Amino acid sequence: MGILISAVLPIALVALVGIWVGRIFTLERQTLARLSIYALVPALVLHSLAKTTLELGNAIAILTTFILNTAFLYLLAVTLGRLLTFSSDEKKSLIATTIFANVGNMGLPFVLFSLGEAGLERAIVYLVGSSLMTASVFPIVLQGEGVLKGLRYTLGLPVLWAAIAGIMLQGTGTILPLPMERAVTLLSDGAIPLALLMLGIQLSETPFVFGRHELMAAGLRLIVSPLLAFNIANIVGLTGIDRQVVVLQAAMPVAVNSLIWVTELGGDTVQVARTIVLSTLLSLGTLPIVLWLSSQ
């Protein structure tokens, strides 16, 4: 329980500040979203990747499992959206909440506190895959105007180039000049707080009720995703702590940043905000179970 409190409580407290601010002032959420996407998130990705040490053999297997799991989840979300005749925004929101997990600000501390430094190294590999997917495929999927137009949009996102630069810096052992390093660090430190504040601001305008959309989306994220990841990991050949970390990261609740992307690229922001809250609350019960089952 201490692990869960230390990982989840800070998220809840910052979101509460956002709720308070959102009820006092009228804020332009799209402006905040663009500030995050074009300034803060790229700095966070650059900073994280430049500092990461990857073990190539294990990293490839972990990334392969992540990609396959994400692909299956995407196909499942698309199929359910069509079968249930969701609107375009509802389909985008279901896709976003299904494939976009909170593997950073919740996944990393949870894995560190439960599995130690060895687990953290592997969790960072998973985060790298998620960051690259977010910078490349995710905008194309949500843009919904064809691969060429989506790709053109993706190439204009600083987060993609930040990811490439971070990998190059890490691979060559290059260190940024001190003033630039401090600037990147300052910007990266603001990414997660702004995302959480945006969640709170959205929630201040959102009735606190959950329907079938939110329950289904939370179920896909917290139950279906780790089950898929476990079976895919076995097929890929992951064992021990490698498999355990992949399953745990796949079991994380919906990422707060999914609200930012949906705000920018389209989707039902109310539905996404509710699903983030619901999945985070439910993860208090599901994560200990997944942790225990994945260790068997």
Has residue 159 got a pLDDT over 70?
A: yes
How many domains does one find in the chain?
1
Instruction: Cite the beta strand spans of 187-284 per DSSP E.
Output: none
Model confidence pLDDT, tens digit, residues 270-294: 888 889 888 988 887 898 889 888 8
Instruction: Return all residues near 155 (Cβ < 8 A) that are at least 6 apart.
Output: none
Q: What is the pLDDT of residue 145?
A: 58
- The token pair that represents 277 in the structure block: 């809250």
119-135: average pLDDT: 81
Model confidence pLDDT, tens digit, residues 211-267: 888 999 999 999 999 999 999 999 999 989 999 999 999 999 998 778 877 887 778
Instruction: Return all residues near 68 (Cβ < 8 A) that are at least 6 apart.
Output: 232, 236
169-186: average pLDDT: 90
172-200: average pLDDT: 88
Domain that holds residue 128: 2-294
Q: Indicate which CATH number applies to the domain containing 8.
A: 1.20.1530.20
Q: What is the pLDDT of residue 150?
A: 63
Q: Within 10 Å of residue 227's Cβ, how many Cβ atoms? A: 15
Q: Within 10 Å of residue 4's Cβ, how many Cβ atoms? A: 17
